[in-house]
């Protein structure tokens, strides 16, 4: 199965199960969880199921394309199911079958893994999913996002696309993956990976990035105060990316590191709180169960 077919198969599998198929969000991020389709949609009582492929950037993980499976940029396939359905694990196993991983042929295991994202004020419980000893998916029941406890709880499924594809194509490194018949993963992404490794480790202008961080923080805080939730949250994502590059560049000391994480978290929390308030003010329109909607609006004061 080609890399692009893996994405297409997962998209059609989850589309057929009622998920909105969104496209990647156009701001740099370290994980698909940052995408507002997960971060903001997981908040509040409105049901929402979504699937999308997400390019992720983790500058510190760049290895100039030389490490077989550690890259500074890679893909996740992200599924958010809210509320978490009772048969969510069966649905997930069905998706593995759909891409050609037959549970009868492999040893599939759910190994405890408690997920936590300090810069997002988020945590959840779940598993790493192992196939024959290799982690291919992170499965999490979100309990809290942006410092806010969730009700209903959403299930997040994050597939490591390259790893699954390495398995399906029986190759040992990202660079050897076939994207389609004509092109390899390396053909598509290797140049960027090498250049960004140089940028992230050696070339990034730290003074400029520190300034950008401050600017995005100030701008985001200002926008959030005005109730412009999504533009404000974009600033939070951008500040977070500046931090990630500065971190890869070795420009942030251990003590300062924690302080920057807290600054990002503060913005993420404000965005989360503003988002819930705003959706509530709108009357939680996507919550179509009327009795539940009235309950979640705090009984009777629905507009």
Partner 1 sequence: MKLLFEIGTEELPAGEIDTAVETLARHLIRACADARLGHGEVQTFATPRRLAVRIHDIAAVGEASEETALGPAVKAAFDAEGRPTKAAEGFARGKGIAVEELLRVVTSKGEYIGAVVREEGKPAAEVITAALQSVFTAFAWKRSMRWGWGTEQFARPIHTIIALLDGELLPVSFAGVEAGRETFGHRFLSSGTIRFDHAADDYAEKLRAAHVIASVDERKSAIRAGVDAALRSAGGIPIVDEGLIDEVVHLVEWPVPMIGTFDPKYTEIPREVLTTSMRTNQRYFAAETADGKLANLFCFVSNMIVRDPAVVVAGNGRVLVARLEDARFFFKEDRKRTLDSRRVDLERVLYMDKLGSVADRAKRIEAVAGHLATLLFSDEPAVAAHATRAAQLCKADLVSGVVYQFPELQGTIGRAYAAADGEAAEVAEAIEAHYQPKGANDAPPASPVAICVSLADKLDTLVGCFALGLIPSGSADPYALRRSAIGILRTALDRNLRFDLRALIAVVAAGLPGDLGARPNLVAEVTEFILDRLRNLLGQESPTDIVAAVVAVAENDLPSLRARAVALNAMRMNADFDPLAAAVRRVVNILKKADEEDLAAGRTLASEGEVSPAYFEKNCEGSLREAVCNTLPSLDSAVAALRFDEVANLLVGLKPGIDRFFDEVMVNADDPMVRQNRLALLGLIRTAFMRFADISRIQTQGA
The residues of the shown chain that bind partner 1, judged by CB under 8 A, are 68-69, 83-86, 89, 103-112, 114, 124-125, 127, 131-134, 141, 143, 151-153, 155, 167, 172, 253-255, 292
Which of residues 75 and 167 has its CB atom nearest to partner 1 in the complex?
167
Count of Cβ atoms closer than 10 Å to residue 112 Cβ: 8
Please report how close the Cβ of residue 235 comes to partner 1 at its closest, in angstroms.
29
Contacts of 94 (CB under 8 A, 6+ apart): 13
* The pairing of beta strand 48-57 with beta strand 134-145: unpaired
Please report how close the Cβ of residue 162 comes to partner 1 at its closest, in angstroms.
13
What token pair was written down for 200? 């992230």
Which of residues 237 and 296 has its CB atom nearest to partner 1 in the complex?
296
Q: Are 22 and 50 in contact (CB under 8 A)?
A: yes
What token pair was written down for 230? 């999504």
Listed in order, strand segments (DSSP E) in the chain are 20-21, 48-57, 73-82, 108-117, 122-131, 134-145, 148-149, 155-160
Q: How far is C-alpha 55 from the geometric centre of its chain's CA atoms? A: 9
What are the DSSP calls for 44-85, one per residue? SS--EEEEEEEEEE-GGG--TT-SSS--SEEEEEEEEEESPP
Please report how close the Cβ of residue 210 comes to partner 1 at its closest, in angstroms.
19
Which of residues 166 and 223 has its CB atom nearest to partner 1 in the complex?
166
Which of residues 16 and 254 has its CB atom nearest to partner 1 in the complex?
254
Please report how close the Cβ of residue 262 comes to partner 1 at its closest, in angstroms.
15
What token pair was written down for 228? 């412009």
Please report how close the Cβ of residue 224 comes to partner 1 at its closest, in angstroms.
28
Please report how close the Cβ of residue 288 comes to partner 1 at its closest, in angstroms.
14
Which of residues 152 and 231 has its CB atom nearest to partner 1 in the complex?
152
Which of residues 77 and 167 has its CB atom nearest to partner 1 in the complex?
167
């Amino acid at each position: 199965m080609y890399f692009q077919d893996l994405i297409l198969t997962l998209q059609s599998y989850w589309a057929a199960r009622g998920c909105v198929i969104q496209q990647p969000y156009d701001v740099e991020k370290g994980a698909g969880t940052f995408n507002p389709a997960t971060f903001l949609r997981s908040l509040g009582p409105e049901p929402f199921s979504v699937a999308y492929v997400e390019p992720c950037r983790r500058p510190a993980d760049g290895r100039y394309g030389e490490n077989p499976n550690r890259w500074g940029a890679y893909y996740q396939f992200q599924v958010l199911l809210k509320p978490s359905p009772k048969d969510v694990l069966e649905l997930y196993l069905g998706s593995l079958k759909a891409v050609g991983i037959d549970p009868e042929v492999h040893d599939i295991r759910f190994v405890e893994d408690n997920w936590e994202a300090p810069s997002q004020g988020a945590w959840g419980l779940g598993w790493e999913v192992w196939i024959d000893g290799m982690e291919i998916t992170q499965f999490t029941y979100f309990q809290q996002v942006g410092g806010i406890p969730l009700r209903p709880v959403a299930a997040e499924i994050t597939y490591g696309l390259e790893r699954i594809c390495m398995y399906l194509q029986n190759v040992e490194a990202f660079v050897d993956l076939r994207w389609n018949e004509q092109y390899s993963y390396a053909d598509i992404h290797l140049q960027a990976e090498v250049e960004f490794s140089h940028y992230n480790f050696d070339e990034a202008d730290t003074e400029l990035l520190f300034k950008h961080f401050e600017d995005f923080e100030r701008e985001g805080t200002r926008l959030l105060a005005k109730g412009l939730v999504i533009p404000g949250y974009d600033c939070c994502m951008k500040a977070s990316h500046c931090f990630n590059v500065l971190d890869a560049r070795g420009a942030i000391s251990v003590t300062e590191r924690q302080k920057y994480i807290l600054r990002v978290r503060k913005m993420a929390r404000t965005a989360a709180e503003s988002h819930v308030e705003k959706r509530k003010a709108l009357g939680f329109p996507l919550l179509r169960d009327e009795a539940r909607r009235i309950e979640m609006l705090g009984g009777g004061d629905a507009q």
